[in-house]
Amino acid sequence: MRKEKEHMKIVIVGHVDHGKSTLIGRLFYDTDSIQEEKIAEVREACKTLGKEMEFAYLMDHLQEEREQGVTIDTTQTFFKTDKRHYVIIDAPGHKEFIKNMITGASQAEAAILIVDADEGVQEQTKRHAYILGMLGLKQVIAVLNKMDLREFDKERFEEVKAELLKFLSSISIVPSHVIPISAKLGENVAKKSGKMKWYSGPTILSALDSFSVKESSPDKPLRFPVQGVFKVENKRILMGRVESGTVSEGDEITFLPSGKTAKVKSVEEFMEERHSASAGESTGITIDQPYFIERGEVAFSGRKPAVAQEFSASVFWMSPRAFALGERLAFRCATQEAGCEVKKIERKINSSTLETIGENASELKENEVGEIVLRTDKPVVLENFSEIPELGRFVLVRGENVSAGGTVSGLERLDSKRQ
Ligand code: GDP
């Protein structure tokens, strides 16, 4: 399946009640991305309840319909600018937000971090920002919302902005813009505000439009984790998603951890011959050798990835049930799965205050980040998250529950030896 390039996936994060739903409603409304009758329905419902119509209700209403399967109208899941379509991949108030972000289920290309200018930076502001940083999200806009509650005061804006930037710089996030807005009134969302003439930067929409869609990484070395093997007629097709690089007919590739090398005989998609497939595409390949290749092996060409059984990582523990050293977990990275053990929790930090709260710790609690040493039961194929994130991101599963997400770092670069 080809990736549609004209869509950009964004997440809107921030503390509860700081205005995520309202902003989404406003973005949809101002870009004419919402059906008039839906707006009328909610306006009517609000009137019956004697309430003022709120964009937040509109979004909740659409969300409910979507959950009940009433609306499967795709025009409601994205909004448009002249430049492109934006898909909001995390619904506000979504309980699974942290999980989706960390497991990579939501791979956003840009984020809007929203802060109530009246209340200032709060705990979840920091926690969500921390996760954006951990995931290496570089395209971030910070918006200071509810400026109307502070009479659109520049001083207040500067005050909260300074506090926010101080925190963000400690986690290496540099927002491209910090924008004073009122989501409720639509100031600086799609239209420049006449009430904040002191602000000369872009609106949210033009700031978003200045971002680039995620570069797929066809120029990086090939990483093709095998998802499954299917026998069709006399062919054994290795199915999977190209996570980085390009695979073409005739290429010599090596499977890890097994180390078997073969030539690519064909690249196919739904029985259709293709000649190559690139990062982001799901495809099937056949090879010129009768090897037994299983799910979990990773085909590569170019620089060799690391094959390791013990490595350092940062993990964000998100399960309400704490983790105690010695517990068995399952490790999953791309299509690889292995039993694992945490050998050490070298340091742990509070993901909101960033304080170190323990060294050589014996447990990790919800929302704590641990710098750990992990040992898997069998060798796994890895990359540093900063280099090829698709093979540098993993989850830890306890029983049936995804309990932590993590990123791999500090793998030695043994390029010369690996070649
Ligand atoms: P969420 O929990 O982050 O999704 O926040 P909501 O969008 O539900 O907003 C929480 C409350 O703040 C609602 O009552 C909104 O009407 C209100 N709100 C949101 N944006 C603004 C704004 O720009 N100005 C004012 N005065 N209130 C706002």
Looking up residue 345, the CATH number of its domain turns out to be 2.40.30.10
Residue 65: band (very low, low, confident or very high) from pLDDT cuts 50, 70, 90: low
Residues 62 and 175 in one domain: yes
Tell whether ligand 1 has an atom less than 6 A from the beta carbon of residue 241.
no
Across 296-305, average pLDDT: 96
Dihedral-angle region of residue 168 (phi above 0 means left; psi in -120 to 50 means alpha; beta otherwise): alpha
Instruction: Write down the pLDDT at residue 2.
Output: 42
Domain region containing 18: 7-209
Give yes or no: residues 291 and 311 share one domain: no
State the CATH number of the domain containing residue 86: 3.40.50.300
Is residue 92 in a domain?
yes
The answer to whether residue 33 is domain-embedded is yes
Residue that finishes a domain, picked among 250, 272, 301: 301
Is 167 in the same domain as 31? yes
Pair (367, 317) in one structural domain = yes
Task: Say yes or no: 168 and 317 in one domain.
Answer: no
Output the pTM of the full model.
0.82
What does the alpha-carbon distance between residue 287 and residue 201 come to, in Å, rounded to a whole number? 54
150 lines ligand 1 (CB under 6 A): no
165 alpha carbon – ligand 1 mean position (Å): 22
Non-local CB neighbours of 24 within 8 Å, separated by 6+ positions: 12, 55, 59, 88, 92
Query: Is residue 214, in this structure, part of any structural domain at all?
Result: no
Predicted confidence (pLDDT) at residue 315 exceeds the cutoff of 90: yes
Please compute the mean of the pLDDT values over residues 298-324 and round it to a whole number: 95
- CB pairs under 8 A, 24+ apart, for 342-349? 342/370, 342/372, 342/373, 342/374, 342/375, 343/310, 343/372, 343/373, 343/374, 343/375, 344/372, 344/373, 345/370, 345/371, 345/372, 346/370, 346/371, 346/372, 346/373, 347/371
330 lines ligand 1 (CB under 6 A): no
Are residues 244 and 321 both part of a single domain? no
Confidence of residue 87 (pLDDT cuts 50, 70, 90): confident
**In whole angstroms, how far apart are CA 93 and each of 18, 59, 146, 181?**
11, 11, 18, 20
Least confident range from 23-37, 70-84, 185-199: namely 70-84
Give, for ligand 1, the residue of 13, 20, 22, 193 to mutate: max count of ligand atoms closer than 8 Å to Cβ. Answer: 22
- Distance from the CA of 191 to the center of ligand 1, in angstroms? 19
Which of these, 120, 91, 119, 125, lies nearest to 15 by C-alpha position? Answer: 125
CA angle 342, 346, 350 (to 5 degrees): 100
Shared domain for 55 and 188, answered yes or no, is yes
Whether residue 217 is predicted with pLDDT greater than 80 in this model: the reply is no
Q: Is 1 within a domain?
A: no
19 Cβ inside 6 Å of ligand 1: yes
Is residue 2 situated within a structural domain? no
d(CA 352, CA 254): 42
Residue 69 lies in a domain: yes
Say yes or no: 316 and 287 in one domain. Answer: no
Q: Is residue 350 part of a domain?
A: yes
User: Residue 125 burial by CB count (10 A; 0-12/13-18/19+): exposed, middle or buried?
Assistant: buried
What would the mean pLDDT of 51-58 be, rounded to a whole number? 80
pLDDT in tens, 98-143: 777 777 666 788 999 999 999 999 998 998 999 888 888 889 999 9
Tens-digit pLDDT profile for residues 256-293? 999 999 999 999 877 677 899 998 889 999 999 999 99
Question: Rounded to whole angstroms, how far apart are CA atoms 375 and 105?
Answer: 24
Domain boundary among 301, 334, 365: 301
**Residue 352 scores a pLDDT above 90:** no
Expressed in angstroms and rounded, the spacing between residue 57 Cα and the centre of ligand 1 is 10
Q: 263 and 248 in one domain?
A: yes
My answer on whether 291 and 341 are in the same domain is: no
Within a domain: residue 216?
no
Write 327-332 long-range contacts (CB < 8 A, 24+): 327/398, 329/396, 329/397, 329/398, 329/403, 330/396, 330/397, 330/398, 331/374, 331/376, 331/380, 331/394, 331/395, 331/396, 331/397, 332/394, 332/395, 332/396, 332/397
Same domain, 83 and 203: yes
77/173 same-domain check = yes
Are 344 and 307 contacting, i.e. CB atoms less than 8 angstroms apart?
no
Number of domains in the chain: 3
Which of 181, 209, 237 delimits the end of a domain?
209
